[in-house]
Amino acid sequence: MDAIERIIEKINEDVEKKIKMFEEEANEKIEKIKIDEHARWEHKKEKIERERDRDLESIKSLIISHANLEGKRELMAAREEIMNKVIEIVKREARNSEKYLEYIATRVKDAKSVFGEEFVVVCIPEDKGKVDNIVKSLAPKATVEMGEVKHGGIIAKDINGIKSVDYSIDALVERKINEIRKIMLNKLFEGEYA
């Protein structure tokens, strides 16, 4: 081989070495880029998963909170319905109470103190005889009329019918509704608030 060929061969060897070296460097850079990108992707994936988990937990908490609130609303509505039914039963059954006639007598005395000796007592037809007896003994100048007095009791009015005082069972229950509800809460729902 002559010198030119050796030089060409040497140049080719050097070029091959340089190409191999550049390829190795390029492969190393590519490998490093792959590793960096993979790490960046893993970091981003973890961040997305954390955000997703946090969002899912927030949604879960929101759903649970809404369900609890809805459950409480339904429970309160059921309690209210029960209490309203009990109040209606109390109104209907009040006339059967041992204290009903005592209540009428007390209200006739109250009416006498409001209107004086002469006034009108309105009662339901079923109570007319009992109310007549009570009025005759407590306010002999008062008169008894039959009329609409929901659930019993009496309505007292002046003789002109201008002023009146409602002593009906309905009016009594309405005046005492907070006390009644408190008692029901304690008895029916063990003191919980509805």
Domain carrying residue 21: 1-96
Are 135 and 72 members of one domain? no
Confidence of residue 194 (pLDDT cuts 50, 70, 90): very low
In our burial notation (b when 16+ CB lie closer than 10 A, e otherwise), range 21-49 reads eeeeeeeeeeeeeeeeeeeeeeeeeeeee
Say what percent of the chain tops pLDDT 70: 97
Look at residue 9 and tell me whether its pLDDT is greater than 50.
yes
Helix 3-93 and helix 177-189, axial crossing angle in degrees, nearest 10: 120
In a domain, 77, yes or no: yes
Give CA–CA dist 89/173, Å, rounded: 11
Is residue 192 in a domain? Answer: no
Give domain status of residue 191, yes or no. Answer: no
Mean pLDDT of all residues in 141-161: 93
The crossing angle, in degrees rounded to 10, of helices 100-115 and 128-138 is: 50
Same domain, 92 and 1: yes
Same domain? For 92 and 102 the reply is: no
Q: Is position 68 within any domain?
A: yes
> Tell me: the pLDDT tens digits for 70-88?
999 998 898 889 889 988 9
Band of pLDDT at residue 191, cut at 50, 70 and 90:
low
Is 188 part of any domain? no
Q: What is the mean pLDDT of residues 28-57?
A: 91
Kindly indicate the confidence band of residue 63, based on its pLDDT and cuts at 50, 70 and 90.
very high
Torsion of CA 180, 182, 184, 189, to 10 degrees: 170
Domain count, the chain: 2
Per-residue pLDDT at 22: 86
What does each C-alpha distance from 168 to 57, 110, 147, 165 come to in angstroms? Answer: 57, 13, 12, 9
Write down which residue in 47, 71, 96 finishes a domain.
96
Q: Do 111 and 164 reside in the same domain of the chain? A: yes
Residue 59 in domain = yes
Q: How far apart are CA 117 and CA 89, in angstroms?
A: 35
